Structure 1
C-alpha cells in the first residue's frame, strides 16, 4: 500500500479504499457493517485505516440519523470527591448503551456554564447532565425549545427544566441542625463555601437553629486549607464554639486538623460534621461524621433517563428525590 503524504489534508474514506484496493462502498461496509464483508476484505481495510490514520466522521453519520451518541456532563469541579461516583456510573451506564460522555468543568461560574452548554449544543449532543439547576439564562430556554433531554442533578426543584435527580440541600441543613439541637449544642457555627447549594444548606440550618450563628464563608471548591482558616475565623468570633457544620468533607478535614493543632479535643471540646460522604471521611482520626449522598445512584438514574429517551421510551417521573443520610461517627461522638 502506498503511504499517504503527510500534510495532504484530512484523510478520507476514499484514501482508505484506494490504500486497501477496494471500492468506496466496500470500505464503507467494512467499517460500518463488517459482518457483511469477508474476513480478508475486512483485514485489508483495517490495515489501510491504520496506515492512513483515518478517523471516521461520526458527525456526518449523526446528521443522517439525527443522533450523535454523545452526552454532555457538566460538574463544577472534576476534582471534588462527591461528584466522582456520579460521573463514573453515568459514564459506565451510557457506555454500555453505546454513548460517549463529553465532560465539562464549570468552575461554579454561570457564564462559563452557559458557554459550555452552547458548545455542547453545537456538537449536537443527545442529552445533557448537569450538577445543579439550569433555571437561569437564555441557554436554558434554548435547550427547552430544542427538546434536548436535560437531567439536572445534585439539587432539587419542583419545576425542573426537564428531569431532576437529587435531593434538598435545605433539608440537609435542617437535619444537621436538628442533630446539633438534639445533642444540646447551641454554640454552633458554619464553615461554608460561597456557592448557591452551600447557601441553601446554610438557610436550612439557620431555620432550625432559629438565630444567626458564627459563619466563615470561603471560596469554592473548599479543602483542607480553607477549613483550617475557617475554624480560626470562627474561634475568633466565638471562642466557646461547641460544634461546626462544614459544607464539604474536605473543609471538615481542615477544621479537624486546625482543632487538633490548637489542642482542642474532638468531639469532647468541638464536634464537627461534613457534607458529601467522601470515602476518606471514614478513615480520618477521629472518623468524620458526614451527610452521605448516593452519588452513584444519581449517575445511574440520570443515565437511565437519557437511555430511555434515546429509545423513544418514557423516562419515568420528572422529579426523582434520592434523599440523603446522616452518617454519625467519631467527630460528633456518635460512634467509636
Structure 2
C-alpha cells in the first residue's frame, strides 16, 4: 500500500497486462515491469485460460498442472489485475472507509473489525482520512468514489451538502459509523455521543459534585470534532436539568484533542475557578492531560479534583490513578458494520430497509473519580 497526494491509502497494483515492458536490445521484461498472465502461462507451459482457471476454479485443474501454475505465480510475484473485469461486472472488491484521523486507536479498531469481516468475502478496505475537516471529506469522498467502491463507510453523521449530493448520486450502500443521529443518511452503526455526555454528567453529579466542568474542542467553521461537541452538548443539558451551572464547560483549541489540550484546558479552568471539583473530557487523551497537569501542580486526583474521560484508551487504564471513562466496543462496531454491508451487497439494496444499530456504551468506574463527603 502507498499514500497518494490526497491522503488516500491505495493499492500499488499496476495497470494490467500492458505493464509488461520489453527492452529493445534483449526483448526481455525490465525488472520494474509488472508480471502478466502471459508471463505466468509461458513459465508454466500452459495456456492463459488454464492460468485463469487455476486462480478462479483450482479444483477443476489437474493437481500437477495446478502446482506448476502456482509455482510460476510465486516465482514471478504475479498479482492478477481485477480492474479490467470490474469494468463489465461492476464489482471492484473495494469498500471505502473515511476516518477523521489514523492516529486514534478507536478508529483503528473499527478498521480492524471491518477488515476481519470483509476479507472473508474477499473485500478490501480503501481508507482515507479527513483531519476533522468537512472540506477535506468532500475531496476524499470524490477521490474514493472515482475508484468505484461497492460501498462506503463514513465516520459520523455530519456531512456538507456537497458530500451528501455525492453520496446520493453514487448509488452504492452508505453506512455511517461511530455516531447515531436522529436521521441517518442510510445505514448506521454506532452510539449516541449526546448520551455519552449525559451519562458522564449524571455520574459526576451522583458522586456529590456541584462545581463541575468539561473540556472539548472549538468548532471552527469546516474543521471540528462534531462527535465530541455532541458529548459536550449532552453534558451541558444534564447539568441544566440538575440545576447546575454550565459556566465551567470549556471549548478550547482545535480537534483532535490531545494530552496537551487537556493540560492547557485544565489550566484555564483552574484560573477561572480554583475550587472546581470535577471535570469531564471528551476524550481519554485530554483527560490524561488533565491528570498529568494536576500532578505537576500538586493537585491530588481524585481527592481534590475528579477526572473522567471517554474512549477507554489503554493509557487511561495504565496511569495512576486509573481513569474513569465511558467504553464503547469499537471492534464489535466495526464487525457489525461489515456484516451489514455484506448482507446489503448480497441482496437487492433498493428493497433493503435501512439498518440502524446502537452498540451501546458502558460506564467504567476507576479511581480518578472520588465521592464528596
Q: Specify if TM > 0.5.
A: yes
Of 223, 246, 250, 1:212 maps to 246
1:123–1:134: structure 2 CA closer, same or farther, 3 Å change rule? farther
Shift of 1:216: 4.6
The equivalent residue for 1:240 is 275
**Counterpart mapping for 1:37-76 below 5 A:** 37-76=61-100
Classify the secondary structure of the residue corresponding to 1:227. helix
For residues 3 and 167 of structure 1, the distance between their equivalents in structure 2, rounded to whole angstroms, comes to 60
For residues 316 and 302 of structure 1, the distance between their equivalents in structure 2, rounded to whole angstroms, comes to 15
**Contact 1:93 1:303 (C-alpha < 8 Å) held by counterparts:** yes
Of 104, 110, 117, 2:128 maps to 104
The equivalent residue for 2:296 is 261
1:183–1:53: structure 2 CA closer, same or farther, 3 Å change rule? closer
**Contact 2:209 2:278 (C-alpha < 8 Å) held by counterparts:** yes
**Contact 1:134 1:161 (C-alpha < 8 Å) held by counterparts:** no
For residues 35 and 3 of structure 1, the distance between their equivalents in structure 2, rounded to whole angstroms, comes to 35
1:323 and 2:347 are equivalent in the alignment: no
**Counterpart mapping for 1:293-332 below 5 A:** 293-312=328-347, 317-332=354-369
For residues 59 and 21 of structure 1, the distance between their equivalents in structure 2, rounded to whole angstroms, comes to 26
The equivalent residue for 2:117 is 93
Shift of 1:139: 3.1
Shift of 1:136: 2.1
For residues 216 and 240 of structure 1, the distance between their equivalents in structure 2, rounded to whole angstroms, comes to 19
1:277 and 2:301 are equivalent in the alignment: no
**Contact 2:142 2:166 (C-alpha < 8 Å) held by counterparts:** no
**Contact 1:216 1:233 (C-alpha < 8 Å) held by counterparts:** no
Shift of 1:51: 4.5
Classify the secondary structure of the residue corresponding to 2:252. strand
Classify the secondary structure of the residue corresponding to 1:129. strand
Shift of 1:282: 2.3
Q: Deviations over 1:40-76 (max 9, x none)?
A: 3223333433444432111122233321122112211
Classify the secondary structure of the residue corresponding to 1:330. coil
The equivalent residue for 1:230 is 265
For residues 189 and 129 of structure 1, the distance between their equivalents in structure 2, rounded to whole angstroms, comes to 34
The equivalent residue for 2:212 is 188
**Contact 2:186 2:354 (C-alpha < 8 Å) held by counterparts:** no
For residues 217 and 176 of structure 1, the distance between their equivalents in structure 2, rounded to whole angstroms, comes to 19
Aligned residues: 333
Q: Deviations over 1:278-313 (max 9, x none)?
A: 233222211100111121221121011111012116
Deviates more, 1:59-68 or 1:92-101: 59-68
What is the root-mean-square deviation of aligned Cα atoms in Å?
Answer: 2.3
For residues 183 and 355 of structure 2, the distance between their equivalents in structure 1, rounded to whole angstroms, comes to 9
For residues 290 and 232 of structure 1, the distance between their equivalents in structure 2, rounded to whole angstroms, comes to 21
Q: Deviations over 1:158-198 (max 9, x none)?
A: 22111111122122112212222222322122221232111
Shift of 1:92: 0.5
Classify the secondary structure of the residue corresponding to 2:299. coil
Deviates more, 1:88-97 or 1:318-327: 318-327
Give the unaligned 5+ runs of structure 2: 1-25, 219-224
The equivalent residue for 2:3 is none
Shift of 1:218: 2.5
Of 212, 215, 232, 1:202 maps to 232
Shift of 1:147: 2.2
1:170 and 2:205 are equivalent in the alignment: no
**Contact 2:154 2:176 (C-alpha < 8 Å) held by counterparts:** yes
